[in-house]
Chain A
Amino acid sequence: LPGVKSAVAGASTVEAVTAYDDATLYNNFYEFGTDKSDPAAYSKQFKPRPWTVQVEGLVKNPRTYGIEDLLKLSAMEERIYRLRCVEGWSMVIPWVGYSVAELIKKVEPLGSAKYVEFVTLADKAQMPGLRSGVLDWPYVEGLRLDEAMHPLTLLAFGMYGEVLPNQNGAPLRLVVPWKYGFKSGKSLVKIRFTDKEPRTAWNVSAPQEYGFYSNVNPDVAHPRWSQASERRIGEGQGLFAKRRKTLMFNGYEPQVGQLYAGMDLRKFF
């Protein structure tokens, strides 16, 4: 899946890209199991075609898009983003896709639309992890409309120049680089515009640990661990690699800081 270099500010970090094997064999995708090796192991039979995405709610032009329409909707760009997991590890991943804003402009949100809800696939026949009761399925994530409209918020169809592997959220997923990884829903089937803050999966499951915003923030600790530093996967001497300092908004503060001007980020964590 080819993409041209993105012109969006901050969209291409020059840091060393994480090895393809690490990015595709070590990740979370609970629909396939809770272990980091489960997504790759149990998503082999998953069928990302045919695929449709319903866009509905407070918009002028609600519509069901086929994956082929979405692939053609805007020019594919390559974006090299830092990815920071809430668990304290990070990677650098070259994604292929375009800003979600391109899609949002097409459906024209109404003035009353304040939030966007992203619903992901929950198909028991293909996803063995759904048998566990860890989360309320389907997995739902959400953003404020202005966050979703930010040019860095990416609708990704590929990574490392290829179409998305099943375990990384095929055929399309969200990537919000300044938020913890779980905010970026995988295998999207529905995008809904609402006037109320969406009830997101992790927030429903453990509200005191996972806030709606979940912006990467080294100053706001998770109740169980500090978020001040992170382990960059594959960096240095493996076992003895030093952790690096976590950056405010995962290093995207110049681009997204103004979205949160005047907000108490400890309260809205």
Chain B
Amino acid sequence: MQALLTRSWVKPLLFVLCTLPAFWLVGAGLLNQLGANPAEALIRGLGDWTLRFLCLVLLVTPLRHHTGWTVVARWRRMLGLFVFFYASLHLLAYAWLDMGFDLVELLPDIVKRPFITVGMLAWGLLLALAATSFNRAIKAMGARRWQRLHRAVYAVAVLGVLHFFWMRAGKQLFGEVAVYAALLGALLGWRVWWRFRARVPA
């Protein structure tokens, strides 16, 4: 398996796969195939994919430890940048299609509505991580400080679920929220468990 995953075409293929939801959603939106309320469908679809990529990137380390496929670690940066990519499209679609880029409407919305505040905060953290995602940034910051900063992805996971929960609270529809909370909770819980386990001598 490891040998197969190390082939030179695997990562480019993964990259193309990761872009498909964006092409599919935006394309369907432009072709008016997203139902009666296309703007809402697009904004929500992009939010869903942000959460899905967040699950994927947080799966990398547990997968590497349990399967021994060290190659998956080489995909982590790309997957992380896709989280940022989908989060940015989500924010752009909201600011454009919902708010018409009207700052007089947009800024009070960010301050007044907790679920938007939380979403913006998560996007701000992702921006910081994306901006320091290249090798020279690691060198400039020092590996330890860089790693500490990049643990902010755990905060992004918590804020992302909270954002989704608060959005759905208006209609009390928590089914999907529970699924993402369980997945991300398990992935974060695994890290706690792994750390604790490593400290106990075998």
Contacts and interface: CB of A to CB of B under 8 A. Distances in A.
Interface string B11-43: 000000000000000000110101111111010
Describe A's contact surface by its main secondary structure.
loop
Nearest to B99: A243
A96 B30 CA distance: 35
Interface of B: 29-30, 32, 34-40, 42, 97-98, 100, 105, 109, 112-113, 115, 166-167, 169-173
Nearest to A238: B32
Interface size class of A (residues with CB under 8 A): 20 to 34
B170 A221 contact: no
Contacts of A209: 170
Nearest to A243: B100
Interface of A: 21-22, 25-26, 34, 36-37, 89, 134, 205-206, 209, 221-226, 228-229, 231, 233-234, 238-243
The 4 lowest CB-CB distance pairs between A and B, nearest first, are: A26-B36, A22-B36, A238-B32, A224-B170
Given A134-B172, A228-B105, A242 B100 contact: yes
Contact of A205 (B34, B105, B172): B172
B38 A224 contact: no
Contact of B37 (A34, A206, A226, A231): A231
Contacts of A241: 39
Given A36-B37, A224-B115, A226-B109, 15 more contacts: A25-B35, A25-B36, A89-B37, A134-B171, A134-B173, A206-B170, A224-B167, A224-B169, A224-B170, A231-B39, A231-B40, A233-B36, A239-B97, A243-B98, A243-B100
Contacts of B98: 243
Given A239-B32, A239-B97, A221 B37 contact: no
A89 B34 CA distance: 15
Which of A25, A226, A233 neighbours the largest number of chain B CB atoms within 10 Å of its CB? A226
B1 to A, nearest CB: 39
Contacts of A242: 100
Contacts of A223: 113, 170
9 contacts: A25-B36, A205-B172, A206-B169, A209-B170, A223-B113, A234-B36, A238-B32, A239-B32, A239-B39
Contacts of B109: 225-226
B37 A233 contact: yes
Contact of A26 (B35, B100, B112, B167): B35
Given A36-B36, A134-B173, A221 B112 contact: yes
Contact of A226 (B29, B36, B105): B105
